[in-house]
């Protein structure tokens, strides 16, 4: 059987697949992928390659699509289900890396590390300008608190921060586990938080969830971090809010449209940006590759995969 690795994954994962399958490592353009996909039984992607309905329908031999990572928003999962194709991923692989990046950004915003570095390199030695904030005692508001949010909470508590969690889907015992305060109303969360961090999926419920109304309510000293998905934060509203001093700054690892090659947010010195790299560590990518390769092997050998996002729907169809 033939496996296409369309976006690069770890060498260990490729070697594992090589033991059982014919493996082709090739990044195709969308048109090339459409023309070539029928040759393959499985395809593995990260975020660069998109798998829309037309590719799925052209995949006459396709049995499984692997996402070496968490989010499957680059794959048309409904189309895969309708065509009896498994969509597998590696949901836990990058949890620690994304949590660590979130903490890094919270610390960097509170101490304005990026501005201090730029100005010092310019020879300004702006010692008086850089009066930072301690995290100790500050309220960290979570918009969503699943696997990644939970790891952020553990680390934030170690810094003496107070977690406030808005997550309608979190079981009550978890609030107790983190010693966190449950907030049932998003407005209250944004009003009370010193730092706000997003750990929700992008869906119709969360799209544009942080917008003009929420920025109006924030403390002017508050900071926002988004290492989850672009689109949850309304970027135009964020720009207006920052220009009007409605919050102190923001750090964005994700954007509504990616790759984000330009944005008016890039003009603002209190906005830190990075190219969706929170999960890009050697450790996370090694895990993601190996776990995804194993899911592919399971499907192609007739076994049930452990991490399948459409398992229930496939069974029902």
Smallest distance from the beta carbon of 148 to ligand MLT, in angstroms? 9
Smallest distance from the beta carbon of 279 to ligand MLT, in angstroms? 4
Task: Tell me the C-alpha distance between 243 and 263, whole Å.
Answer: 14
Smallest distance from the beta carbon of 61 to ligand MLT, in angstroms? 26
Number of residues that bind ligand MLT (CB under 6 A): 8
Task: Tell me the C-alpha distance between 180 and 192, whole Å.
Answer: 14
Does position 91 interact with ligand MLT (CB under 6 A)? The reply is no
Catalytic annotation, pick one of 67, 112, 276, 297: 276
Smallest distance from the beta carbon of 116 to ligand MLT, in angstroms? 28
Residue nearest to ligand MLT (CB): 69
Q: Which stretch binds ligand MLT (CB under 6 A): 69-77, 149-157, 213-221, 231-239?
A: 69-77
Does position 59 interact with ligand MLT (CB under 6 A)? The reply is no
Give the number of other CB atoms < 10 A from CB of residue 31: 8
∠ CA 107-198-283, nearest 5°, is: 65
Closest CA to 55 of 37, 71, 32, 81: 37
* 199 is known as an active-site residue: no
Does position 71 interact with ligand MLT (CB under 6 A)? The reply is yes
**Residue 65 phi, psi (nearest 5):** -115, 125
Does position 297 interact with ligand MLT (CB under 6 A)? The reply is no
Residues 23-52 that bind ligand MLT (CB under 6 A): 46-47
Does position 276 interact with ligand MLT (CB under 6 A)? The reply is yes
Does position 8 interact with ligand MLT (CB under 6 A)? The reply is no
Give the number of other CB atoms < 10 A from CB of residue 77: 18
* Structure token digits, residue 168: 């309608």
Does position 94 interact with ligand MLT (CB under 6 A)? The reply is yes
Catalytic annotation, pick one of 229, 287, 294, 297: 229
Smallest distance from the beta carbon of 41 to ligand MLT, in angstroms? 23
Q: Which stretch binds ligand MLT (CB under 6 A): 23-31, 64-72, 142-150, 308-316?
A: 64-72
* 258 is known as an active-site residue: yes
Catalytic annotation, pick one of 25, 100, 181, 258: 258
Task: Tell me the C-alpha distance between 64 and 85, whole Å.
Answer: 5
* Contact indicator for 159, 133 with CB cutoff of 8 Å: no
Does position 300 interact with ligand MLT (CB under 6 A)? The reply is no
Does position 144 interact with ligand MLT (CB under 6 A)? The reply is no
* 212 is known as an active-site residue: no
Smallest distance from the beta carbon of 7 to ligand MLT, in angstroms? 9
Give the number of other CB atoms < 10 A from CB of residue 58: 14
210 strand-pairing partners: 233
Q: One symbol per residue from 255 to 274: x for binding ligand MLT (CB under 6 A), - otherwise; what is it?
A: --------------------
Write the Ramachandran bin of 109: left for phi over 0, alpha for psi from -120 to 50, otherwise beta: alpha
Of 69 and 141, CB closest to ligand MLT:
69
Closest CA to 14 of 302, 308, 4: 4
Dihedral angle of Cα 46, 41, 93, 176, to the nearest 10 degrees: 110
Does position 70 interact with ligand MLT (CB under 6 A)? The reply is yes
* Structure token digits, residue 244: 């009007």
∠ CA 226-311-313, nearest 5°, is: 95
Task: Tell me the C-alpha distance between 27 and 25, whole Å.
Answer: 7
Residues forming the site for ligand MLT (CB under 6 A): 46-47, 69-71, 94, 276, 279
Could you give the residue numbers annotated as active site?
229, 258, 276
């Amino acid at each position: 059987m033939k496996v296409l690795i369309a976006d690069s994954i770890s060498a260990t994962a490729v070697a594992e697949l090589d033991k059982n399958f014919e493996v082709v490592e090739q990044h195709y353009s969308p048109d090339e992928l459409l023309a070539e996909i029928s040759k393959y039984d499985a395809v593995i992607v990260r975020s660069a390659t998109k798998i829309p309905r037309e590719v799925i329908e052209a995949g006459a031999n396709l049995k499984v699509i692997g996402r070496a990572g968490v989010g499957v928003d680059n794959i048309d999962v409904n189309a895969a289900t309708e065509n009896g194709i498994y969509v597998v991923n590696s949901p836990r692989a990058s949890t620690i890396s994304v949590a660590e990046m979130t903490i890094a950004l919270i610390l960097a915003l509170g101490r304005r590390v990026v501005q201090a570095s730029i100005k010092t390199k310019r020879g300004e030695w702006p010692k008086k300008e850089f009066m930072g904030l301690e995290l100790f005692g500050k309220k960290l508001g979570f918009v969503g608190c699943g696997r990644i949010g939970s790891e952020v909470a553990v680390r934030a508590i170690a810094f003496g921060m107070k977690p406030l969690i808005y997550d309608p889907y979190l079981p009550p015992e978890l609030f107790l586990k983190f010693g966190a305060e449950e907030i049932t109303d998003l407005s209250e969360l944004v009003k009370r938080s010193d730092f706000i961090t997003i750990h929700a999926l992008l869906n119709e419920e969360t799209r544009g969830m942080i917008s003009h109304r929420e920025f109006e309510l924030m403390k002017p000293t508050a900071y926002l971090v988004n290492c989850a998905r672009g689109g949850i934060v309304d970027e135009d509203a964020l720009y207006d809010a920052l220009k009007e001093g409605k919050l102190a700054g923001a750090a964005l690892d994700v954007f509504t449209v990616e790759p984000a090659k330009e944005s008016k947010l890039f003009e603002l010195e209190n906005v830190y940006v990075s190219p969706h790299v929170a999960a890009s560590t050697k450790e996370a990518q090694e895990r993601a590759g190996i776990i995804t390769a194993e899911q592919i092997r399971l499907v192609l050998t007739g076994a049930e995969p452990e991490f399948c996002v459409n398992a229930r729907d496939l069974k029902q169809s």
